[in-house]
Every structure is written in C-alpha cells, then in structure tokens.
Structure 1
Amino acid sequence: MGQEAGRSGRSEEDGFRWLSDAEQASWRAVLRGTRLLETALDDALREAGLQLSEYEIISMLSEASGRRLRMSELAALVVQSRSRLTHTAKRLEERGWVTREQCADDKRGVELVLTQEGGAAVTDIARLHVQSVRDNLVDILTPAQFQGLGDAMAVVCDHLDPHRLTDR
C-alpha cells in the first residue's frame, strides 16, 4: 500500500507525489499570508491615494539609472503583463509622475521615466510604505525568520525568473 497523503485520502500508488498534511498547511500559509500582506500594504498606501502596484513602479524608477526603465524590463521587474503596466503607467502619467519616452538607442522601444514630481512622491510616500512593511512583516518576525523568508523567496525567484532579476 502507498503512503497516504493525509486529508486528501489519496495514496502515492499512482506515482504522483501529493502534498503531505504539513506541506499542505505550509503551502496554504504561504498563499494566504502573501495575499493578506499585499492587501495590508495596499491598504496602507490608500491613504496616500496610491496602489501598491503604482508605488512599486515609481519606486523601481527612482532607483534606476537616469530614473528610467524600458517598459518591457519594468514589466518583468514588477511581475506585471505589459498591458497591465501600460494601464498603470497611464494613471501615473495623469498624475504627472511619469512620462513615456522613446528609447534613445532603440526607436521601437519605450521607456517609462520618473518626473521630478514623481520623485518627490516616492520620497513622500516611502516612509508610509516602509512603516507598513515593518508593521506587517519585518517586525513580527525574528531577524533569522525574515532572513530565511528572503532566502527562500530568492530561491523561488531564481527558479521562476529565467533572467535572474532578483536582488540577491
């Protein structure tokens, strides 16, 4: 008889590796925890009239050379489809925080450029965002737990990101 896979009642007789009870509990904690964290971070930015996805874009631009990134590269960095990034960029353009410009080295490409107003917005909003990250993640874990979480997610990113866009 094959090894039982817990609540599912399925065995490994068919050669498929089902999640154990412990694996299932961990997986569900990861899934629910990431969704709850993203919601909490989004809620904190709402008082600044911003969504997490918008802040992530202007933050990435603020750290980029020349405060500009090619749209395709930015979409990969923030894990958004190009069409979703285009819609988000439009909202940021309407605020005066970014502009779209043709790439100097490739006339077919488009870069998103952080404006002076966008840079000021990042500076103003950064404290609010970082405090929310601290309140909802960093400060509720031990330093070792936070380091372990970062290390584990870097492994996941390296596995899923063929271009190795992680910071580690």
Structure 2
Amino acid sequence: MPDTEWLDADQQRIWRALLGGTTVLIDRLDRDLRAGHGLSMPEYEILVRLSESPDRSIRMAELAASVAHSRSRITHTIARLERGGLVQRGQATDDRRGVIAELTDEGFALLEQAAHTHVRGVQDYLVRIVDPDDFRAVGRVMEAVRETLDGRPF
C-alpha cells in the first residue's frame, strides 16, 4: 500500500473550494461569452492570444502550448473559428511545414466586443467580491503552480 499524505480537514476544504469556485467562475464567464458573442471561453482565449501576437498570427504548435490545449483540440477549435471567418490558417513563411493561425479583421472586431463582456465578468464574479490582498494571493499561488508544473511563467 502506498504511503499517502492525506489532506487534513482544512486542506480538503480549501481544495474543494478551489475546485468549486473555479468551475462556477469559468462556467459563468463561458455562459456570458456564448450568450453575448457566440464564443466559448477556449475560443475567446485563442482570439486573445492571436491578438497579442505580432501580425495577429502564431504557429499552431505555439498556440496550443500557450493555451494548454492538445494540438488536436486546438485544430478543431481553430477550424470552428475559421468557418466563422474569425481566423484563417496558412503556411508559415519561414518554414513551409509549419501552419500558422491568423486573426482576421472580423475576428478582431468580435474580440473587441467580447473583451468588454469578459472583463466585466472577471470584475463582477471575482475581483469585486474578494479582498484585494486575497486576490493577489490567488495570483501568487496560481503562478507558483503553473511555473512548477508547466515550467514556464505566465
């Protein structure tokens, strides 16, 4: 039988609060984006990453890594965004084997609208309901987790 260090009652309560809070927060943000703009949270995040990249384009492999999705999942999501005219795919100019995703003008315009909905949601559902010191602590905790498990800073 493995030697497992079980969570104590306080750790278990905090862990469950993290899971439950994260789930309802992401679900609410996703719901708002879908209702207001026809975008899911993963689609929104992809548009954000593209908008922040030079020339609003990025290699598919880099995009998958930046949003922590599998290449297969990112390919399906990009295909949906492409069918909607929000993204287009093409060959990388420096490496003909590489595929890039590029945010279209239509995609950028939708992102500009959706960003207001998303940021209002983050403010209303998280920032305004927690103490600023607690909010900063959550950021430090999640940065440490990401850097430790993923090996890269956010």
TM above 0.5, yes or no, is yes
Residue 10 of structure 1 corresponds to which residue in structure 2? none
User: More helix per residue: 1 or 2?
Assistant: 2
Stretches of structure 1 lacking an aligned partner (at least 5 in a row): 1-13
Segments of 4+ moved more than 6 angstroms: none
Letter in 1 for 2:31: D
Distance 1:153 1:127, change over 3 A: same
Deviations 1:126-157, CA, capped at 9 Å, x for gaps: 10111011111111111111111111100000
- Counterpart secondary structure, 1:69: strand
Determine which of 83, 99, 106 is the counterpart of 2:72.
83
Q: Is the 8 A contact 1:102 1:111 kept in 2?
A: yes
Residue 14 of structure 2 corresponds to which residue in structure 1? 26
Distance (whole Å) between structure 1 residues aligned to residue 83 and residue 153 of structure 2: 29
Higher radius of gyration, 1 or 2:
1
- Counterpart secondary structure, 1:111: strand
Residue 6 of structure 1 corresponds to which residue in structure 2? none
Q: Is the 8 A contact 2:58 2:100 kept in 1?
A: yes
- Counterpart secondary structure, 2:97: coil
- Counterpart secondary structure, 1:32: helix
TM-score for both structures, normalised by structure 2: 0.94
Letter in 2 for 1:41: L
Distance (whole Å) between structure 1 residues aligned to residue 148 and residue 97 of structure 2: 30
- Counterpart secondary structure, 1:113: strand
Letter in 2 for 1:37: L
Residue 71 of structure 1 corresponds to which residue in structure 2? 60
Q: Is the 8 A contact 1:77 1:165 kept in 2?
A: no
Distance (whole Å) between structure 1 residues aligned to residue 118 and residue 3 of structure 2: 46
Distance (whole Å) between structure 2 residues aligned to residue 133 and residue 119 of structure 1: 20
Stretches of structure 2 lacking an aligned partner (at least 5 in a row): none
Distance (whole Å) between structure 1 residues aligned to residue 72 and residue 153 of structure 2: 20
User: How many angstroms does 1:76 deviate by?
Assistant: 1.1
Distance (whole Å) between structure 1 residues aligned to residue 21 and residue 12 of structure 2: 14
User: How many angstroms does 1:66 deviate by?
Assistant: 1.1
Determine which of 44, 58, 75 is the counterpart of 1:55.
44
Deviations 1:69-126, CA, capped at 9 Å, x for gaps: 1111111111111111111101100111101111111111111100111111111111
- Paired residues, what number? 152
Does 2:115 match 1:118?
A: no
